[in-house]
Chains A and B, each alone.
Chain A
């Protein structure tokens, strides 16, 4: 597979691609997270997160305007030469690596809890690993185009879950209105903008998208789509599960699905939703894994990606077993969701700012 110049994909595919990266968290922990932060005002906290991300995204895209068609590695090269490019590449690779490892461990544990309790963890994880490896062999084009086909189906399934909980919804669950207090809502909401951290992958996409107008459209499109679902998801979760009990379940959406029962026949259908979760997980893991390998190859100046897939898969597989128990994984996750915004937005912003400063200086020098 050659690097980047022949592969193109359209804005719809890119929007679904990035939205999936962000919204898969809904299936894992996001709705419980908002409830932990601000009790029954969690949905307001989600709105605050969204607004924070919107502001940061606008700033980043504004700064990006001058760098048509360049991805973040090239920009960092403009900003600080090969050294900064190396640093950026390493930071991105490591963060994607952490995300992949944590999510693959989390999802395998989830599958074990939901449907395969007795199987060993390696058995369950090997399904994800095989899926990732095979999908990476088919190339980025295939992965991103497949997103465009499957994400609408996943969205439809999610909407069915949300509609199915309607009998359990009670508007009084939203009271008291401000939950734990406005200060809590604002600070936690601001910190939790880390869940939108995968938006930074947007800046790896420009060589494939072509044109900074398209990058802007994709960025805003993905943001609005994912923000809509994140806010809607937390709102409905809070409506259907009153405040203290909503904090208990390990898999909040799974719990919501378990109570869906219409009549005698339509009960216990949560296994159907294993389809959409497993599919969303496979898509997420393939995307982060591919971009990790891609960034690594680009930073190191390697031309081909395929031979790197197998070694990296082995590394990810072994790293996923480092945490001893699920609780350790959750504590690692807490760091990610509290500090992720620094890496995703602030770091990218600094690089863009440095590069545009450099460019201005160079322009002035040239004009002299």
Chain B
């Protein structure tokens, strides 16, 4: 009853929209790092971070200088001895001639015990004995500056920081009499190395992919963009999982408000756990029901670098080999990583094939239905009589035939993904062939339908972005229904509504159909048709980057005649 009332209310009354404005990407002026003033949000963030660190810890959270209090607190927090993989090691440090009690705490299996043994325990226990002369520093400086030859040691004043560090593979050191604690990063769990990309295979180009370790992924990008302006900003997402994510951008290229928006969205996620970039994508995207993705997700570091250089922002999630890059436009989803590595004629041919594939995958069954059910005069007479002859024995109407074949094709595809080993892809192909052939022989479907369904399937495989291919698979069914309802009129209606929907969408403030939708400056030469690499002078205008040009007008100086210069 209340459902009906709610429905009526929805239809008869109007709900005011949210007062808050949607995000739009404002224009930036070109500012280089050297002249930056403190109005810029990046500098604001820097100042904010400095302030946070200078601020002392909460009084409740501060580490006490009593050894036993610390020990009890740590034992309680980590549920020792219930937690079996945590290790608490008590030992003594020689301070001058006096022994001082200390303990370290770390998780077994998450840490590299070699490093703990050699670079934390050994110097603390052994070297402290060796240096028995008078020490004029206080204990804190003595330990941190002389006794811990480890590259990443932090002095922290709050329990929560030590606990977070230990949870993520660090080790915490508490010393009697000090109201600070030392935390060292000794991560050493087992992980996958740098391997070939699985889903974005290129013929020409580097064969490295991201793996699950955050810092390794950051390093992959930093080793390609060797610029001090490449910023890696860490954000923790998730209350329980505390997943570290890094936002990467090039400071003097990217638009300030874009970075601010990314930061705002990431900080505004209130979930318990967030495990993978797939989950993150769903939590920060603009529209949930729109079929196509609104962020680029890739596992190739070279592709991410290319996108960063153009003025986008990358979000890396620890534990996920897929990196998100925002913002994106519809046309970027049809680019692949290989596009800049191959030569100008081939890349345009490939683009043409991709767009044809997308067109076929989306519209071919719908068009076939529209033509054979409504517009018979379009078919050449020979073909028409052949189709009619083959359809004589088929008992189903065209629509049922097509749905049958499409659904079976999708079933085979899904099944082929799950079957293990080398049988998987083979099953897909053979299954489809045999099934199709058998269906034709049994007069369940007509032979031309097998061709249609096969072309549609192959077309959807040729689309470079995996999620986009999914979305086209969904939309195809809608066009099938529209085509069978009203022929070309129905298909035009579908294209119109879908087109207007796409044009109204924004991905992080950038309209989804830029640069064709809102006609931005037409100088960016890599939208549908790609100009040669030496002509790629401009960054995309719709990103409003700080520096619009990335190449000189004559980027190939070797082509001009040197003899003229010598004169």
| Residues of A near any B CB (own CB < 8 A) | 1-2, 6, 9-10, 12-13, 111, 115-116, 119, 123-124, 127-128, 130-131, 134-135, 138-139, 141-143, 145-146, 148-150, 264-265, 267-269, 271-272, 274-275, 278-279, 282-283, 286, 304, 306-307
Contacts and interface: CB of A to CB of B under 8 A. Distances in A.
Nearest to B514: A145
B501 interface: yes
21 contacts: A13-B519, A115-B487, A127-B486, A127-B490, A131-B496, A135-B497, A135-B500, A138-B503, A142-B503, A148-B518, A149-B516, A149-B517, A264-B380, A269-B378, A271-B375, A274-B488, A274-B489, A282-B496, A283-B496, A304-B16, A304-B17
A149 B503 contact: yes
Nearest to B487: A115
Contacts of A265: 380
A12 B378 CA distance: 35
A279 B378 CA distance: 20
B3 interface: no
B27 interface: no
A148 B501 contact: no
Contacts of A135: 496-497, 500
A221 to B, nearest CB: 13
In order of increasing CB-CB distance, the 7 nearest A-B pairs are A142-B504, A307-B14, A278-B492, A138-B504, A271-B375, A12-B519, A274-B488
A148 B500 CA distance: 11
Contact of A278 (B17, B377, B489): B489
Contacts of A130: 493, 497
A127 B489 contact: yes
A141 to B, nearest CB: 7
Nearest to B511: A145
A267 B384 CA distance: 14
A139 B504 contact: yes
A269 B488 CA distance: 12
B415 interface: no
A146 B489 contact: no
A135 B21 CA distance: 21
A271 B486 contact: no
A63 B259 CA distance: 46
Q: In the complex, which of the residues A10, A131, A143, A286 has the most CB atoms of chain B within 10 Å of its own CB atom? A: A131
Contacts of A272: 378, 488
Given A149-B516, A268-B377, A271-B377, A138 B500 contact: yes
Contacts of B488: 115, 271-272, 274-275, 278
Nearest to A10: B519
Nearest to B12: A307
A99 B122 CA distance: 89
Contacts of B16: 304
Contacts, number: 112
Contact of A142 (B371, B493, B500, B519): B500
Contacts of B492: 274-275, 278-279, 282
Contact of A145 (B374, B377, B517): B517
B450 to A, nearest CB: 23
B518 A9 contact: yes
B268 interface: no
Given A13-B518, A138-B501, A275-B492, A116 B380 contact: no
Interface string B490-512: 11110111011101100000010
B518 A131 contact: no
A131 B349 CA distance: 35
A148 B519 contact: yes
Interface string B1-36: 000000000000010110001000000000000000
B509 to A, nearest CB: 13
Interface residues of B, number: 32
A282 B486 contact: no
Nearest to B486: A127
User: In terms of DSSP, what is the predominant structure of the interface of chain B?
Assistant: helix
Given A10-B519, A13-B518, A271-B378, A116 B503 contact: no
B513 interface: yes
Contacts of A10: 518-519
A150 B519 contact: no
Contact of B503 (A1, A115, A145, A279): A145
B499 A1 contact: no
Interface of B: 14, 16-17, 21, 371, 374-375, 377-378, 380, 486-493, 495-497, 499-501, 503-504, 511, 513, 516-519
Contacts of A307: 14
A267 B500 CA distance: 32
Contact of B500 (A119, A134, A268, A271): A134
Contacts of A13: 518-519
Contacts of B375: 115, 271
B507 to A, nearest CB: 14
Given A2-B17, A131-B496, 14 more contacts: A6-B21, A115-B489, A116-B374, A130-B493, A130-B497, A138-B503, A145-B517, A145-B518, A265-B380, A271-B374, A274-B487, A278-B496, A282-B496, A306-B14
Given A116-B487, A145-B503, A149-B499, A1 B17 contact: yes
Contact of A282 (B380, B493, B519): B493
Contacts of B496: 131, 135, 278-279, 282-283
A135 B489 CA distance: 16
A142 B290 CA distance: 15
A306 B504 CA distance: 15
Nearest to A277: B492
Contacts of A12: 519
A307 B14 CA distance: 6
With most chain B CB atoms within 10 A of its CB, the pick from A116, A139, A143, A264 is A116
Contacts of A264: 380
Nearest to B517: A145
A171 B500 CA distance: 42
B520 to A, nearest CB: 8
Nearest to A16: B519
Contact of A146 (B371, B374, B487, B517): B517
Contacts of A123: 486
Contact of B374 (A115, A124, A279): A115
A213 B493 CA distance: 36
Contact of B504 (A124, A141, A149): A141
Contacts of B497: 130-131, 134-135
Contacts of B371: 271
Contact of A124 (B486, B495, B499, B513): B486
Given A139-B504, A149-B499, A271-B378, A278 B518 contact: no
Contacts of B495: 279
B380 A148 contact: no
Contacts of B377: 268, 271
Given A115-B375, A138-B500, A149-B499, A127 B493 contact: yes
A274 B380 CA distance: 18
Contact of B14 (A116, A138, A269, A304): A304
B543 to A, nearest CB: 17
Nearest to A139: B504
A150 B500 CA distance: 10
A146 B503 contact: yes
A123 to B, nearest CB: 8
A142 B488 CA distance: 23
A242 B504 CA distance: 46
Contacts of A282: 492-493, 496
Nearest to A12: B519
B510 to A, nearest CB: 13
Nearest to B375: A271
A306 B16 CA distance: 10
A272 B490 CA distance: 13
